[in-house]
Amino acid sequence: MVGSNKGIRMGTMVLVYALLLATVFCMLVPYLWMLSSSLKLNKDVFSFPMQWIPAHPRWENFVDIWTKIPLGRFIFNTAKLSVIVTILQLLTSSFAAYAFSKLHFKGKNVLFLGYIATIAIPWQAYMVPQFIMMRSLGLNNTHMAIILLQAFSAFGVFLMRQFYQGVPDELCEAARIDGLSEYGIWARIMLPLSKPALSTLTIFTFVSTWNDFLGPMIYLTKTDLKTIQIGLRMFISQYSAEYGLIMAASVVSIIPVVIVFLALQKYFVQGVAASGIKG
């Protein structure tokens, strides 16, 4: 009987691992296809049967992408927006989350629920009013419009608040007794303890801002202001698309995202798990 149960558990584990491997394979195939296509001529990208390893890799694609379009400028603009927005969201989300989790004021729960409820509203629903507001402020066709619109995040506040809920209130009370202000408690106690949650929010915010397409497309029309995601469209002309160059530029564009994730991935799972301790 014991041997039978052990065999069932072993079979279940094998099935689970097989499903996980199949899932990982399905997720990696598009990236492998992108990498393979980045080393091909445009006419060979959709050839059938597909040649995963090109017989004659075209490394020139990774040179041409810098001369066909101002890719360096696009990467700089994207990095600038991603870093600024990420820093602002870390500051505003952690600061607001501290107030919602550790301070007591009238209407706190109602205000928090109302703010979090905005997550359920798709951005497309208030996209036009936002554009009209930014245009009336004279911020259309500027990076400042995107920075202001993305500097605050209801999801970030929710994530950080859930993590702060797991920090004992006694730490804050002891700090207040010692004469530390609320700003000091936030900066000296809460922030150092919330590195996993901050790392998780950094990954989500940086990746979201780096990959944003619709926002820059609406607000940025000058070539010098465009981001990498908008710049990729410049490889598409009226009658054709240079898929080899598009794939090469796409490979270059995901490198910063991979670097950020690998640098913070050890905190990622810990941050997500800790943020769900309390509701």
Domains, the chain, ordered by start: 59-274 (1.10.3720.10)
Q: What are the tens digits of pLDDT across the range 126-183? A: 888 899 999 999 888 899 999 999 999 899 999 899 888 888 888 888 888 888 888 8
Q: Is pTM beyond 0.75 here?
A: yes
Q: What are the tens digits of pLDDT across the range 41-75? A: 888 888 778 888 888 888 888 998 998 889 999 99
Q: How many C-beta atoms lie closer than 10 Å to residue 242's C-beta?
A: 20
* CA distance linking residue 267 with residue 261, whole number of Å: 10
Query: Of the candidates 117, 91, 85, which has an alpha carbon nearest to the alpha carbon of residue 194?
Result: 91
Please give the average per-residue pLDDT across 20-39, as a whole number.
89
Question: What are the residues whose beta carbons fall under 8 Å from the beta carbon of 162, sequence distance 6 or more?
Answer: 197, 275, 276, 277, 278, 279
Q: Which two tokens stand for residue 148?
A: 């202001």
Three-state DSSP class for residue 213: coil
pLDDT at 3: 56
As to burial, measured by CB atoms within 10 angstroms (0-12 exposed, 13-18 middle, 19+ buried), residue 1 is exposed
Q: How many C-beta atoms lie closer than 10 Å to residue 4's C-beta?
A: 8
pLDDT at 276: 47
pLDDT at 91: 93
pLDDT at 226 over 90: yes
* CA distance linking residue 269 with residue 273, whole number of Å: 6
Question: What are the residues whose beta carbons fall under 8 Å from the beta carbon of 206, sequence distance 6 or more?
Answer: 82, 83, 86, 257, 260
